[in-house]
Structure 1
Amino acid sequence: MIETRSNQGNGRLRTLAIVVVLAAGGAGAVSGTAQAAPNPDGAGYVAGASGSGDEYFPHAGNGGYDVLNYDLALHYTPPADPAVLEGNLNGVATVTLRATKDLQSLNFDLRGLDVTSVRVDGKAAKQGKSQGGNSAEWSQEQDDANRIWELTIGLQPNLKAGQKTTIVIEYGGTTGRPLDTTGALYGWVTTADGAMVVNEPEGAATWYPVNDDPEDKATYTFRITVPEGKTAVANGLPSGPPATKAGWTTWTWKASDPMASYLSTAGVGDFALSYDKGPRGLPIINAIDDGVPDAELAETTASLALQPTMIEFLEGQFGRYPFEAFGAIVDDDTVEYALETQTRPVYSGIASESTVLHELGHQWFGNSVSPSDWRDIWLNEGWATYLEWLWAEHRGVAAMPQQFSKAVEYLDAENRWALNIADPGRDNLFAGQVYLRGAAALHALRAKIGNKAFLAGARLWLTRHNDSTATTEDFEAVMEKASREHLDEFFDDWLREPNRPDMPRR
């Protein structure tokens, strides 16, 4: 991910500027918590956890179940007045899941939108605290001050581990421009002509009920109804042509590859769609907002035209592109932003060549293999930055040693080595060190263990953890296997220690 802001805590676009230079050489109401109705056979059943256990975002995600599929029917009205960036979103989320524990209740994350009804396996649930009977109960808690957004659903009958259930949730409300913990825009961001949807790290809850944990990957269907003349774009591939009725158009997209919730998107705007093909006929679908200025449009168009060549280049290094499609959503919102939303990265502002390569690289490193916990984000951003360096060298723009040296110069300044990028802290997830120290560590690792072992380790990493998540410790284990070397000291020096490590000799 790359994003820009001028305030502290937002290294995301300042990071973009660094990366580009290197590549170029130069108190909501709270109702009672829902509980399952009394069940004489319910001994041993538990409430699903209301958090995933992530140290940085303890209330994001949930426990006790695995989502298999989200089917999201969204009806969105963009702002009536472009000067007032508020829209209206109504949704019906059909969530198919499998219990991983014997459950009497479970939770979803949902922020700022009001639930109006819940059905569990076709049976209507009641709102409020359980009073017994044969139906499920649900309640909603929204505590923005503590970043707690929970929809709790009691289950009757209880759900045994291994059993599937389908839950249908109707909800809606006003959309605005939500902020993450650093003050950066994320989630369902209302724009003058529609919406830009960028969830990292835990913003998916701003537009649908979700288990917002990278470890719970699922497939998706998006049915997005917008005013006639607007275009809605999401992950994956279109499922038939758009259908218009009574002034509203429904666009349907299906994402068949398992996807972490932070990588889902559903952009709405005055987009023009274009089509290209990558290796083996891979569908590439680009959506560019007609409000993108001409100067930015020229650079963006040229960068996107390189996508097939970029995919071919990275496949040669790391193996086959991991998903069913690729492409881009280019919005004209005023905040410069880029995020590796799966199969269809989102860009606001210019999609530069290095940024397009960065977000493409994430499809392998971050999307196919995602971080188990947010502390492991350097495995996303360090790799994507390192791949920029490889591409710049391939294009004859800047040699790897030169780019590595510039990164070291950045890290030397103001003792930026002091940040432990294997555990940077919640509000340093997108600090420049995460990107550049991460990339520098990979360059140094390649020098230490050699090209053959490094590439073998990278490919083993991608195959062993494909469509899954992993940790820094998992990465070290893979590289030790590939190199047959003990690498504890190396990873401590390059990721964790607050001092400048010894520089590689080759």
Structure 2
Amino acid sequence: MGTACSDPAPHTEAGARARIGAAGAGDRLFPALGNGGYDVAHYDLTLHYVPETNHLSGTAIITARATQNLARFNLDFAGLKVRGARVNGTGARFAREENELTLTPAKTVEDGETFQATVAYSGTPRMIEDADGSVEGWIETDDGSTALGQPAGSMTWFPGNHHPSDKAAYDIRITVPKDEDGDPYDVLSNGELVEEEDKGDRVGSHWRSREPMASYLANISVGYFEIIKDRTDDGLPVHIAVDPDEAEEAADVADLVPEIVAWASERFGPYPFSSTGAVVDHLPDLGYALETQTKPYFDSAPEESLLVHELAHQWFGNSVTPREWKDMWLNEGFANYAEWLWEEEQGGRTVQETFESFYDGTHAESDGIWDFPPADPPSAARVSDSPVYGRGAMVLHKVRQAVGDKTFFTILRTWTRQHRHGNADTGQFIALCEQKSGKDLTELFETWLYAEGKPAAT
């Protein structure tokens, strides 16, 4: 561990505060996540992972712009041992306290300056158990591992500004030794495969995400997969990886992914990334899927509706990302509503019938949807509970009924265009709905999005 940090002698207490990056992004639900004083533009991660021992070593080069003078600043980082740190090529002092890594550069980083922070680290990456009993972080599988980051798990395998408000481009290079039989592991990550190199006793992969990505959407999956490479009718690269144990049940995934992407593009606007795909692993005890950018991760062969849900997130959540976790309904309500639309268009229940089944409590996923307002989760532990999903989708259906189909889908396409690759919040969505419809929708949103309890039937 490095020596404890200390500040240059400030002229005033206020001056000292202005020169220290905040240890948190100010999120009400996750106050310790993220950091202040800088904005990350790019992560360059060079990793070496040994599946047999679950050992990870890495070097992270973080390119960022200072938003204030920085005598020191923080990175979110959990578990792994820091071997050394540099800022702009010069050694920096570092200190650890719980999940905060504090760097003190040899020279103050000036406001507006683009700088690089380099951190070398190694150890056994940890898995985090959340308050609801689910797990995230670096998770071992039966033939390798996967890294899942919602909401904070990515800090278990690389240091960074781990709040969704600070999105960045990524280059992820990972080298993995071949197994005892001399066979290579497959390695998947976000974006496009730039290079894959057989180095004799190991294999190196380089994945690049040019479009900005929130860190909770970053993924590495290591194991044995059947790889399917294709292109959509529009020429978009498709990269799908399926665990052999799931191959039979997941046989339709390769056909469904481009079909769903085309369907969603017509309704929500152009697909926002340079490639698409999916990772279907064999980790059935995990209990959830995640919308990891460009390649949603599934713990087993997904049902069609779940595939729709995670691919819809590429627009809602991945490209247009909430500024704070309290606005999670902008992710999940929209992805749930995509499921409703898809089911109706495949000849199943109409969207109105699905809405009514949630309202009367007969839908299998309707338990607890009136526990709290979708836009106001009471705690971090409940940010992914059913009101955010089911009632969030109900809000959208009420908007659609109020403004009409043409205006509603114009709102969705405008939303994904205006905030493409950026961040947005609930207030901006409400303003857009009122702007495009020319209506005062205050009562609708107060009733369905913000009010406690079940609204009266209308």
Scaled by the length of structure 2, what TM-score is found?
A: 0.93
Of residues 394, 405, 409, the one that matches 2:345 is 394
**How many angstroms apart in 2 are the aligned matches of 1:336 and 1:247?**
35
Map of 1:27-426 to 2, 5 A cutoff?
A: 33-37=4-8, 45-80=18-53, 87-125=54-92, 137-142=93-98, 149-228=99-178, 229-240=184-195, 242-292=196-246, 297-334=247-284, 335-410=286-361, 416-424=369-377, 425-426=379-380
AA paired with 1:232? V
Shift of 1:427: 1.2
Shift of 1:476: 0.6
* Maintained 8 Å contact 2:21/2:72: yes
**How many angstroms apart in 2 are the aligned matches of 1:70 and 1:306?**
32
Q: Considering only aligned residues, what root-mean-square deviation do their CA atoms show, in Å?
A: 2.0
Q: Could you list the runs of 5+ residues in structure 2 that have no partner in the other structure?
A: 179-183
Aligned to 2:437: 483
* Maintained 8 Å contact 1:371/1:470: yes
AA paired with 1:324? S
**How many angstroms apart in 1 are the aligned matches of 2:380 and 2:430?**
22
AA paired with 1:422? A
Shift of 1:502: 4.3
Shift of 1:337: 2.1
Alpha carbons of structure 1 residues 482 and 100: separation in structure 2 relative to 1, 3 Å? same
**1:368-410 deviation per Cα after TM superposition (whole angstroms, max 9, x unaligned):** 1111111110110000010011111111122112211222123
Shift of 1:414: 6.9
Alpha carbons of structure 1 residues 418 and 324: separation in structure 2 relative to 1, 3 Å? same
* Maintained 8 Å contact 1:67/1:211: yes
**1:194-220 deviation per Cα after TM superposition (whole angstroms, max 9, x unaligned):** 111211111110110010010101000
Alpha carbons of structure 1 residues 46 and 443: separation in structure 2 relative to 1, 3 Å? same
Shift of 1:451: 1.0
AA paired with 1:94? I
Shift of 1:176: 4.2
**How many angstroms apart in 2 are the aligned matches of 1:468 and 1:411?**
37
Aligned to 1:500: 454
Shift of 1:498: 2.2
**How many angstroms apart in 2 are the aligned matches of 1:352 and 1:416?**
22
AA paired with 1:423? D
Aligned to 1:434: 388
Shift of 1:255: 0.4
**How many angstroms apart in 2 are the aligned matches of 1:415 and 1:56?**
20
**How many angstroms apart in 1 are the aligned matches of 2:425 and 2:143?**
39
**1:217-239 deviation per Cα after TM superposition (whole angstroms, max 9, x unaligned):** 10000101112211111000001
**How many angstroms apart in 2 are the aligned matches of 1:499 and 1:38?**
54
**How many angstroms apart in 2 are the aligned matches of 1:181 and 1:311?**
33
**How many angstroms apart in 2 are the aligned matches of 1:117 and 1:499?**
52
Alpha carbons of structure 1 residues 473 and 411: separation in structure 2 relative to 1, 3 Å? farther
Alpha carbons of structure 1 residues 427 and 490: separation in structure 2 relative to 1, 3 Å? same
**1:21-61 deviation per Cα after TM superposition (whole angstroms, max 9, x unaligned):** xxxxxxxxx97652345699x96751000101111111110
Aligned to 1:17: none
Of residues 399, 402, 417, the one that matches 1:448 is 402
SS at match of 2:417: helix
**1:262-301 deviation per Cα after TM superposition (whole angstroms, max 9, x unaligned):** 1111111112211121242000101112233xxxx33322
Scaled by the length of structure 1, what TM-score is found?
A: 0.84
Alpha carbons of structure 1 residues 165 and 120: separation in structure 2 relative to 1, 3 Å? same
SS at match of 1:455: helix
Aligned to 1:83: none
SS at match of 1:47: coil
Shift of 1:473: 1.3
Shift of 1:421: 1.2
Q: Alignment length, in residue pairs? A: 446
**How many angstroms apart in 1 are the aligned matches of 2:216 and 2:73?**
20
SS at match of 1:94: strand
Give the percent of matched residue pairs that are identical in Structure 1 and Structure 2.
Answer: 38
**1:330-365 deviation per Cα after TM superposition (whole angstroms, max 9, x unaligned):** 111132321001101100012221111101100011
**How many angstroms apart in 1 are the aligned matches of 2:174 and 2:42?**
16
Shift of 1:79: 3.5
Alpha carbons of structure 1 residues 488 and 31: separation in structure 2 relative to 1, 3 Å? farther
**How many angstroms apart in 2 are the aligned matches of 1:291 and 1:299?**
9
